Amino acid sequence: MATYKELLAQRNLLDDQIAAVRAEEVGGAIARIQELMVQYGLTTDDIIVKRRGRKPGSKTLKPSAPTAAFQDPKTGKTWSGRGRAPSWIVGKNRERFRIAV
């Protein structure tokens, strides 16, 4: 059975071989991609993955917070009408607390 140091040496050799083969294959892949781009007249803008209609480099939009629909006149706290109702509105006529739009 191999010793710990021998196994580490083998791993280091394999890591070096993996890096060399990867560099060679990446070089070939890049050359093939460049060849196809020339062949079909593509630019980098044509091959960038576009997600959800955003342009490359644009900032992502955060989902907007729900709009407040009800407000406690005493404290000014608001509630959107989604989720569990706050204690200041439970058991009361909600229309009294509705925010006029």
Distance in angstroms (rounded) separating the CA atoms of residues 20 and 49: 28
For 56, the token pair is 């490359």
- Report yes or no: 43 and 57 within 8 Å, Cβ to Cβ: no
Distance in angstroms (rounded) separating the CA atoms of residues 33 and 49: 15
The closest alpha carbon to 69, from 46, 36, 94, 49, belongs to: 94
pTM score of the predicted model: 0.41
Query: What are the tens digits of pLDDT across the range 23-63?
Result: 999 999 999 999 999 999 999 888 887 666 556 566 667 77
